[in-house]
Amino acid sequence: MSHCSCIWACKQITKAILSGSRSTFQKRVSLHFTRCYQPPRSVWFSSCLAESATQKLEDVYKYWSNKFLSHNIEEADISANYIVAHVLGHKTIYNLDAQTLLNQTQVDKINELCHLRSTGMPVQYVLGEWDFLDLTLIMRPPVLIPRPETEELALLCIETLVNDIEIERPTVLEIGCGSGALSLSLLKKCPKLQVVAVDISPTACSLTQENAQLLGLMDRICVIQGDFTLNKVQLELSRLSAFPLIVSNPPYLTTDELTGLQSEIECFEDPTALDGGLDGLDIIKEIILKAPDLLMTNGHLWMEVSHQQPPLIAKLVQNSHNDICLIEVVKDLFGKDRFCHFQKK
Amino acid sequence: MRKKSTNFYYGLPIWRPFANLTYSASLLPSFVQGLITADSRKTHTSTKFTIENPIYVSFLKSLVEEYNAAINANVDYVADADKRQRFNFLKLVTQSIQELEKKQGEVLELRSMMAEEDKEMKLLVDKEIIRLKKEVQIIEKELIDILVGQDSADNKDIVMEICAGVGGQEAMLFCAELFLMYRNYAHFKGWTVTGLSIEENEIGGTRKAVIEINGESVFKHLKYEAGVHRVQRVPKTEKAGRIHTSTVTVSVLPQPSEVDIDIQPHELRIETFRCSGPGGQHVNKTDSAVRIIHLPTGTVSECRQERSQIKNKETAMKNLKIKLYQAILEEEDKKRQATRKLQIGSKGRSEKIRTYNFQQDRITDHRSKDDFSNMPQFMLGGQGLDDLVLSLHQFEKLQLLESMLDSYRTEISKTKATKG
């Protein structure tokens, strides 16, 4: 863990230095160099403006996607696409005219963001925002970036809330809220819902709060910073209310799997949000054990897990002899066993 | 204008160019002859389709036999829709025939009692026989309706297209009058009319009018209006007082009803950039493009506009549904285009369905060979047009029945020939 955050910190510092020095240097470059001048490849990151010939959208986009490709940045095309579109106030460039002329400020901004991307930073952090269902949420390193699978988890929870829970004003507990994506999308869809969100990381908690504020959902969410595995925190939660629904996207990677991930994840995302211990089940076990104390009778628990874990989890539930049972395992969009649905007897 | 022209020719010798065709019975199909002599607006019964006619009776008997065979035959009617339909049809027919036989038996029984001397009794029996005969007639009529069946499109709403054909300005003027007539008729029947597009010219004529008519059994009533309408009169634009013949074409197209598209999950293949690998927290891929392939039709729908994969999937799904629906609509549209061509023909003067002769105050329908008078009232699209529509409906029914009987006759002669 310390290794990862070290790399991440280093990259941050390098970037800060680079971006600080670049802006003044770049202006000089654009004034003095003509188009025929080709600077040496080694300084490509500071002279992109001169290289990208004109300032047509098409050219800027092609320039950067080629650059990403030659520097082994993953998803080169689509990364450049998102960045260019973002600067122009769009989601993707498919609806934009390729011949659109970009002004200097736009090009500068694109270059700045593309430099960040070329350090290996995930696009979501580069843009500082990403979409989750209907919401656009602030994304900030090192808080975990919600994956498309989690969108499906949110939809499953909404279905449960609408169909199976007959409480006038239900309160949902989210364990490990991260950027707040799950909690906030539930709040957005269900106007009478309240959410208690817990996360161990203070940065995650403040980001959830920030996103809630952005979406005007502050009055229905209570964010608690604390370690769910601690008795103290569990006691505090059980005092709050008996929950009809608990939802969680807990860390479920095994410690072994943590090394050898994409550099985007390894170097930028908070390992505490990913590391589930030796078998990846540390937090999952904790949740299954403690959920019966927090749920009301017939209350539901939805959890996102790794695709090979459901059989292990089924055994775990059987052996734990508590009041909870695994009632279904739902596949994700890609056909992997991903979501475990439990219910308290 | 209509009034003027009729008044102008009042008292002049009437030229009836199609008098021969209309009244010479020998030119008509044999069974229609009976219709022409009767007052067509009131009754359209023909002795052809009563139990007095032995061939008709034997035809009915053959249907009953088919029903009896169908009961005993072990056919899965749930699976085979065609056979199920035929079976239901036979069942209805047989029920009606049995009722008819019962009533007929009663009549015969009463007839045998006629021998009685008692005058009072005789009077009573007479009355009873008359009552029973009326009932028999009613059942016979119902039986005809059952035999003929219903057009599945009868209840559909329609789009009606009225186009000026041959005859320039005069055709456009008459086109405007026909358009008014149908609009009034729709009001008369309590339907709603929506104008889709109307092209008018400067002297009050209409080049083309397209209207949508919604209501109960619209297509059932207006399907006979499709075709070429011919007008014979002295046009407003004519200075020398000659009679012109112009045409207006009408097409009536039933509207397709909403089709609910049912897509089963196993018929879909969803392709994304995240398919392989462990997924979840293991990867961070941002390409959220989704492609959905509908396997039975091979229809492909893609979406990559959004950054959220689920949003892209939803949009792709919506587009897929639209595409599939469009394909169904196009299919129906093709069929409709074919019917349209069939209805309008070559727009010439020859394939006419109806002639409006203002000089003689006569409206002739060339299919049922019916004549109607009182042009001003007819053109208002009220009772006059409704009567004509009714007579055409009846005509169509009888014609259909005649063709059924014909094919039965040929079948019999065939079996006889093979036996012989």
Residue B153's alpha-carbon distances to B156, B255, B257, in angstroms, are 5, 9, 10
More confident residue, B24 or A279: A279
B274 to A336: CB separation less than 8 angstroms, yes or no: no
Instruction: Estimate the crossing angle of helix A202-215 against helix A181-189, to 10 degrees.
Output: 30
Residue B44 clears pLDDT 80, i.e. is over it: no
What's the average model confidence in pLDDT over A170-189?
95
What's the average model confidence in pLDDT over B46-65?
78
Q: Which residues of B touch A145 (CB under 8 A)?
A: 284
B286 to A75: CB separation less than 8 angstroms, yes or no: yes
Task: Please tell me if residue B311 touches chain A, with a CB cutoff of 8 Å.
Answer: yes
pLDDT band at residue B28 using 50, 70 and 90 as cut-offs: very low
Q: Which residues of A touch B283 (CB under 8 A)?
A: 147, 261-262, 265
- Report the alpha-carbon angle B145-B148-B153, nearest 5: 100
Residue B36 clears pLDDT 70, i.e. is over it: no
Average pLDDT over chain B, rounded to whole?
Answer: 78
Burial class of residue B373 (count of CB atoms within 10 Å of its CB; 0-12, 13-18, 19+): exposed
What's the average model confidence in pLDDT over A201-215?
96
Torsion sign over Cα B46, B48, B49, B50:
positive
B353 CB neighbour count, 10 Å cutoff: 20
Residue B90 clears pLDDT 60, i.e. is over it: yes
For B243-282, letters b (16+ CB in 10 Å) and e give: bbbbbbbbbbbbbbeeeeeeeeeeeeebebbbeeeebbbb
More confident residue, B82 or A37: B82
pLDDT band at residue B351 using 50, 70 and 90 as cut-offs: low
B282 to A253: CB separation less than 8 angstroms, yes or no: yes
Torsion sign over Cα A207, A124, A201, A325:
positive
| Structure confidence at residue A186 (pLDDT) | 96
Query: Pick from A22, A34, A195, A190: which is nearest to A109 by CA?
Result: A22
Mutant choice from B281, B282, B283, B291 vs A, greatest count of A C-beta within 10 A: B281
Residue A212 sits at φ, ψ, to 5 deg, of: -60, -40
Of the listed ranges A64-68, A138-142, B139-143, B225-229, the one predicted with least confidence? B139-143
- Cα gap A245→B312, rounded to integer Å: 28
Pair A294, A173: CB distance under 8 Å: yes
Q: Which residues of A touch B317 (CB under 8 A)?
A: none
Average pLDDT over chain A, rounded to whole?
Answer: 85
Of the listed ranges A184-198, A251-265, B56-70, B247-261, the one predicted with least confidence? B247-261
What's the average model confidence in pLDDT over A40-62?
61
| Structure confidence at residue B236 (pLDDT) | 84
The count of CB pairs under 8 A between chains A and B is: 97
| Structure confidence at residue B27 (pLDDT) | 37
| Structure confidence at residue A150 (pLDDT) | 95
What's the average model confidence in pLDDT over B321-341?
74
In this structure, the dihedral spanned by the alpha carbons of residues B187, B190, B191 and B192, taken in order and rounded to 10 degrees, is 70
pLDDT band at residue A6 using 50, 70 and 90 as cut-offs: very low
In this structure, the dihedral spanned by the alpha carbons of residues B271, B272, B275 and B278, taken in order and rounded to 10 degrees, is -150
Of the listed ranges A81-85, A191-195, B47-51, B281-285, the one predicted with least confidence? B47-51
pLDDT band at residue B331 using 50, 70 and 90 as cut-offs: confident
Proportion of chain A above pLDDT 90, given as a percent: 70
- Cα gap A182→A150, rounded to integer Å: 7
Of the listed ranges A183-187, B252-256, B301-305, the one predicted with least confidence? B252-256
More confident residue, A101 or B21: A101
More confident residue, B324 or A36: B324
Task: Please tell me if residue A68 touches chain B, with a CB cutoff of 8 Å.
Answer: no
Residue A124 clears pLDDT 90, i.e. is over it: yes
| Structure confidence at residue A50 (pLDDT) | 46
Residue A311 clears pLDDT 50, i.e. is over it: yes
- Cα gap A64→A43, rounded to integer Å: 15
| Structure confidence at residue A44 (pLDDT) | 45
Task: Please tell me if residue A261 touches chain B, with a CB cutoff of 8 Å.
Answer: yes
Residue A19 clears pLDDT 80, i.e. is over it: no
Q: Does the predicted TM-score (pTM) go above 0.95?
A: no
Task: Please tell me if residue A3 touches chain B, with a CB cutoff of 8 Å.
Answer: no
Pair B219, B257: CB distance under 8 Å: no
Listing DSSP states for B98-150 in one string gives HHHHHHHHHHHHHHHHTT---HHHHHHHHHHHHHHHHHHHHHHHHHHHHHH--
Task: Please tell me if residue B266 touches chain A, with a CB cutoff of 8 Å.
Answer: no
Task: Please tell me if residue A138 touches chain B, with a CB cutoff of 8 Å.
Answer: no
Edge-first strand order for the sheet with B290-294 is: B268-272, B290-294, B299-303
With CA atoms as reference, the chain B residue closest to A154 would be B310
B284 to A132: CB separation less than 8 angstroms, yes or no: no
Q: Which residues of A touch B319 (CB under 8 A)?
A: none
Q: Which of A211-215, B277-281, B287-291, B345-349 has the highest mean pLDDT?
A: A211-215
Nearest chain B Cα distance for residue A188, angstroms:
16
User: What is the length of chain A?
Assistant: 345
Query: Pick from A199, A191, A241, A247: which is nearest to A219 by CA?
Result: A191
**A252: which 2 tokens?**
């479920």
Q: Which residues of B touch A113 (CB under 8 A)?
A: none
Residue B19 clears pLDDT 70, i.e. is over it: no
- Cα gap B105→A21, rounded to integer Å: 112
More confident residue, B351 or B238: B238
What's the average model confidence in pLDDT over A267-284?
93
Q: Which of A59-63, B106-110, B148-152, B262-266 has the highest mean pLDDT?
A: A59-63
More confident residue, B397 or B183: B183
Nearest chain A Cα distance for residue B259, angstroms:
27
Nearest chain B Cα distance for residue A257, angstroms:
8
pLDDT band at residue B212 using 50, 70 and 90 as cut-offs: confident
pLDDT band at residue B275 using 50, 70 and 90 as cut-offs: low
Task: Please tell me if residue B17 touches chain A, with a CB cutoff of 8 Å.
Answer: no
More confident residue, B275 or A55: A55
Query: Pick from A207, A221, A226: which is nearest to A142 by CA?
Result: A207
Give yes or no for a cis peptide into B54 (omega within 30° of 0).
Answer: no
| Structure confidence at residue A228 (pLDDT) | 93
What's the average model confidence in pLDDT over B134-152?
81
- Cα gap B121→B133, rounded to integer Å: 18
What's the average model confidence in pLDDT over B166-174?
91
pLDDT band at residue B46 using 50, 70 and 90 as cut-offs: low
Residue B100 carries which side chain, given as an amino acid letter? L
